[in-house]
Amino acid sequence: MIALEYELVLSAVLFAIGIYGILRRKNAIVVLMSVEIILNAAVMNFVAFSSYAENGGNAAGQVFALFAIAVAAAEAAIGLAMFIVFYRTFNTIDLDKGKMLRW
């Protein structure tokens, strides 16, 4: 069995990669993928803590992980739909062009 510390370090690295992708990239698809990486880091924490719970493990963390995966799938679908509209409007997926949005 893998130690809890290693799983938490891997989750923290994934979270840091996701934050870096959101802050430094201008491509909308890469930003959406970075958000998915952050959500996967949170799911990894749920599963890691549920497997190391007292009395041989607890299924609550795994249930929350399944719920988070479903929310991430819905978020990806809505995000891609928004980016399609963005592309049709500006003919690019560069997020700097979003500053030109009209009210």
Residue 94: pLDDT over 70: yes
Residue 14 in contact with residue 40, Cβ under 8 Å?
A: yes
pLDDT tens track for 48-86 = 888 887 766 677 878 888 999 999 999 999 989 988 988
pLDDT given for residue 63 in this prediction? 87
Residue 100 is predicted with a pLDDT of 66
For residues 20-40, give the mean pLDDT. 91
More confident residue, 3 or 54: 3
pTM across the whole model: 0.82
What are the residues facing 27 on neighbouring strands? 94
Q: Give the DSSP letter of residue 92.
A: S
